[in-house]
Structure 1
Amino acid sequence: MSAPFVIIGAGQAAAQAAVSLRAEGYGGEIVMIGDETHLPYQRPPLSKAFLAGEMSADRLELKAPNFYPDSGIDVRLGTRAVRLLPAAKAVEIDGGIRIAYERALIATGTRARALPVPGADLEGVFSIRSIDDVARFRAVAQPGAKLVIVGGGYIGLEVAAKANRIGLDVTVVEGQPRVLARVACETISRYATDLQLAHGVRVLTSMGVSAITGTERVTGVELVTGEVLPADLVLAAVGAVPNLELAADASLAIENGIRVDAQARTSDPSIYAVGDVASFPSGLYGRRIRLESVQNAIDQAKAAAKAMLEGAVTYDPVPWFWSDQYDTKLQIAGLLDGFDRTECEGDVAAGRFCVRYFASERLIAVCSVNDPKSHMLARRALAAPLAQGSAA
């Protein structure tokens, strides 16, 4: 009897890989190892509907609880993979127990980047990466409480919107000259800032944080100017770090994440990696990329499942993302790194428009605000070179 396929991680990519293995006809044993105590669940609502209490925890679950035993998937929750042993083709979990594998799939995702300032470990400083994080946050997020969000990216602005809706007094502090500076042009940044200001959120840009103040519990956020913002709660929203330690310790190739090929295969032919933790070659953009998105988690997991069963697959997607803030839906198709000009179409004042990003006259990305049609057209336009390449 052959060893099982072992999936390390129990998030969106891990769950999709297990589902796809069964859909592809794999009848062998599947073992899924997750360090959380929750069955695989959606993460995007954590900073949106779930944070505001508009969605219950059971609605986050990707599959009904009985799906996994009914499908012959052995899900081991609250279990930490401590070592990956390629030579022995085994995963070591808590307690020194080893699980042999025929194929292993790493889907360990990311963790919140810690604030690199004194006081970041005080009670009342949060990140939003899990159901338990949100539960702890909601337990103390009473109306009127002062929340300081450090970081003006998508997560920071999404939390600002929901926290504002449930009655918190919100301030966003961003070190760059504008919010969304790394992921959007000035038009989008300005619109997002005006949206927050219109709802009463204070937004400070070009502003660094020097410390989180307090003794046992946070009382404020000290800015580099010396000003201290009073704070009952602080959210660290300064990005994420891929959980690649298992792979690195196992001497797998690392390059902005776990390096994989177009079949999601690592430098060890029996080990695959998918989702936020994996970097893969993009023919569309001519470089290696790592995507932190639901789209990538799902689609790359499907490709990996097929590849693990020796199916023919080449993973080269058009990236797409979305962000919900108040009644605004921002949708992004493509990657805008390296753009040299933009074109805006629509009515910015009315909150329905799109921005196209170009590099040397080539369309590389489109940001759509409350304009789903332009988003879908953008995805088709960006996919056209891929279709032409596969037909050539």
Structure 2
Amino acid sequence: MLNRTLAPESKQVDEIRFIEPLKQQLDNGIPVFTINAGTQELVRIEFIFQNVNWDPAKPVQAIGVSHLVNNGTEKLSAKAIADQVDYYGAFLQTEYGADQLTVKLYTLNKHLSSVLPILYAILNESVFPDQELAIFVQNQKQSLQVNLQKNDFLSRKHFANALFGDTTYGSNIEAADYDALRRDDLLDYYRAAYKPENCTIIVAGKFEATEFNILNEIIGRPWNNQDAASINEFTFSNPTKGEIVIERPDALQSAIRMGTLAITRHHADFPGFQVLNCLLGGYFGSRLMANIREDKGYTYGIGSAVVSLKDAGYFFIATEVGAEVCGSALAEIEKEITLLKTELVEEEELSLVRSYMLGSMLGSLENAFSHADKFKNVYFSGLDYSYYDNYIKTVKNITAAELKILANTYLDTAQFSKVVVGKK
């Protein structure tokens, strides 16, 4: 009989296989990367555009375009676009990121030829109606007003600005920036960014020659937008170090966010730094969680992360704690970092982290969409799948001594930007 008093035997993930995309090109030059997998007649098509023409005087220009690009064309109103997409059981989504803008379509294969013309119109004929712009400005200002009352939002806002200054990564957006937004600003950005030479298409799902031909026939035609554009490029070297304390006398909780500029995926140390981060605060069993949540009871949750953007990498720790224990929580965070810099990690703990990270990687590859997401991570970083080979090798083989060296190299708290909103 099964002995339920014994935990099941655990084994380390032995091999992780990735589905690499097929690269093709539309007649107008747009590269198309296809992860052709799955049996259901469903595809996700992503139109990804690099952010361009950063103007610090217009920090919400690209954000506005991303939100409103599907809110009206020369022939279709926002309602008509939504109704037609819904009629075919499709789903259309726009996403703004600091490096890229994305228009994402989910549709059944049988409706591809009916839905793609709507996408072509959005990418070529958007008019950004004044009425839609007014609604967007009103909604964004109201949302900002609400968020400015949240300690966590303020900590993120000021932390990003401390690290990245007045760039798209850290711009300190105010309500006045939305008031200053004009329809001509949106059109200027739209014509510069949404064009074939600035577009990459990534497809995931059941997508074969028939579907590609439909995509090429509709999207591979010439586009209207041809304005000059300069891809955003930023350099960062002098973040604001030390503490930024925003006192809120009535706060019951204090939001803490601290960290520093760091390496990106291009750096040989990046996979090892990810293992170090996982140990410190990268999963529920991390040291920060064990100490500050489980042992001290200062918070419901605390975590850390290593982030790789196009032009910068950064490391951060974030939490919200009871206002009366904020100082103690800061001291405990410092203590956990010091321990990683001075003591070797026990093999039992490191083994658990290895299993967690490899299991998470394997679990994140459950379908064609997730395989496409993994491809995007390396492609837009200028890397290839050898990055994942090196990542898996590092997770399996990194030593406690190497982690100690990494902690001393990248976790210098004297160089951290530290933001506390609430009471310290």
Task: With the length of structure 1 as denominator, give the TM-score of the two structures.
Answer: 0.24
Structure having greater relative contact order (Cα 8 Å, sep ≥ 6): 2
More strand as a share of residues: 1
Q: Which has the larger radius of gyration?
A: 2
